[in-house]
Amino acid sequence: MAYNILVVDDSAIIRKMVSRTIQMAQVPVGDIFHAENGRDALGILGANWIDLVLADINMPVMDGMAMLEAMHNDEVMKNVPVIIVSTEGSETKIEKLWQRGMKAFVKKPFMPETIREVISGVLGEWDETESDTSADSF
C-alpha cells in the first residue's frame, strides 16, 4: 500500500526537506501534497484522499493548533492522523496538541530514521518492497 501524505509548513525549504526525508526513510508514498498553512491544508484534505498529515505549528493564516481543532471537529478529517513537526519545546503547548488529537510529535531538527519510526508507529509497518513508489504533487 502506498500512502498519500500532506506536508504543511509555511517554509518551502522545510516542506521540501520533510518530503525528501519521507522518501529517504523509504515510506511507501503515493502522492505528497504540500500546503503553506492550515487553511490550505483543510482544502486539500477536503478534496483528496490523504492518509497522513505532517504539519508545523507556527504558520500564518491558520496555525497547526487551529488546523488540528478543525480536523477534530470534522467527521471525515478527524480520522486522518496528524504528526506535528515543529521546533516547539514547551511541554505545556505539546500537551495541548495531544488534547487536540495529535498522533505524534517530531522535534526539528530531525533525523530520517526518526521520521521513519514515527510514521511507522502511526501508520503501522509496511512492506519494504513497496517503498520505491514516490511522487511529489504541488
Partner 1 sequence: MKLSQTHRQILFNTVEKVLEEAAFAIVDAPDAEQDGECAPEAEIASAVEFSGFFAGATAMIAPASLARIFAANMMGLEEDDPEADGKMSDALGELMNMVCGNLLPQIAGRRPEFEILAPRPIRPEACRRAADGCPDIHAQKIRVIVEGRPAEFFLFVESDLLRGLLND
Q: How distant, in Å, are the alpha carbons of 37, 67, 98 from that of 55?
A: 9, 9, 14
Choose the stretch contacting partner 1; rule: CB under 8 A; options: 5-13, 42-50, 75-83, 116-124. 5-13
Q: How far is the CB of 11 from partner 1 (least distance, A)?
A: 5
DSSP per position, 95-110: HHHHHTT--EEEESS-
Under the criterion CB under 8 A, does residue 66 sit at the interface with partner 1? Answer: no
Q: How far is the CB of 109 from partner 1 (least distance, A)?
A: 4
Return the amino acid letter for 109: P
- Between 51 and 94, CB nearer to partner 1: 94
Sign of the four-CA dihedral 8, 104, 25, 87: positive
Under the criterion CB under 8 A, does residue 91 sit at the interface with partner 1? Answer: yes
Out of 11, 48, 120, 137, the only residue in the binding site for partner 1 (CB under 8 A) is 11
* Euclidean distance between CA atoms 54 and 29, whole angstroms: 13
∠ CA 53-17-121, rounded to 5°: 40
Out of 2, 4, 17, 136, the only residue in the binding site for partner 1 (CB under 8 A) is 17
Under the criterion CB under 8 A, does residue 14 sit at the interface with partner 1? Answer: yes
- Residues in contact with partner 1 by CB under 8 A are 10-14, 16-17, 20, 58, 60, 86-93, 107-111
